[in-house]
Copies of this chain bind each other. A is one copy, B any other.
């Protein structure tokens, strides 16, 4: 029995990334209904909006689901309160220390996974008592680690450093890549980009459409002086990139960024001025499909792939 399936009581070891402005109740419930683990992305929600999405997810599916909480956002106490009040069974934390909330959540019977970008952080997760680790590589969209370690090199390193259940993230957009992640030592996968472009994603149709046209090299890890984030190379990216190349200070970068850029791009569809977060694997996405079809394809490709690997 796969430990990730067992831990979350799901059929397939496929977790949907809790992405800002993409992962509302529609996407999370569709993924859970398809047999994976749907995650509501709290990062882009006011606390009461989060509550609404939790309630709606529970109406839309009777299967397990979770909430992804980037720990860098304000109002953390209120968010965690809502999560316990609404009896969310699973929480994925990211962008912060696992030492801060893991105990509190586990005392309330909640299963906790934490996202890391290196084995050093994996050890901290173990010490904090998390139930599973997501190790996310350089190719992933959105916020990213400073070491630039890719999924191919990160997963074996984290696997070596901990015996905790391990989920691979970054660059996984096909059943073949799922099989690759498991061959590297992961027991499950977290998929972002494919679901960001799905029918049930709450991203703006213009953003989804853009994803289907991207080629290799159309995203880049950017804003490294503040917190590295993988972006589509649009007008806003060029602005930030030029500033960085010319030695802009942190304050100058912060004022360039302003507020609400991700909402403007991903949710409102401003493809020029918005901050467009997506993974490298977007270069292989060419259609917008419903979650159920994405699952069918992933499982079929995975099974075909492992059937073709023969002994040497």
A positions within 8 Å CB-CB of B? 12-13, 118-120, 137-139, 146-154, 156-157, 160, 170-174, 176-177, 179-185, 215-217, 220-221, 245-247, 279-281, 283-284, 299, 302-303, 305-307, 309-312
Across the interface, name the chain B residue whose C-beta is closest to A221.
B148
Q: A16 CB to closest chain B CB, in angstroms? A: 16
| A120 contacts across to B, CB distance below 8 A | 215-216
Q: 11 other contacts beyond A120-B215, A306-B311, with CB at 8 A cut-off?
A: A118-B216, A138-B139, A148-B280, A149-B216, A152-B152, A153-B280, A156-B174, A156-B281, A183-B305, A303-B311, A306-B306
Given A183-B306, A312-B299, answer yes or no on A139-B156 (Cβ-Cβ < 8 Å): no
Q: A9 CB to closest chain B CB, in angstroms? A: 16
Q: A177 CB to closest chain B CB, in angstroms? A: 6
Number of copies: 2
B183 touches A284 (CB 8 A): no
Given A138-B138, A147-B216, A216-B118, answer yes or no on A283-B179 (Cβ-Cβ < 8 Å): no
| A312 contacts across to B, CB distance below 8 A | 12-13, 299, 302-303
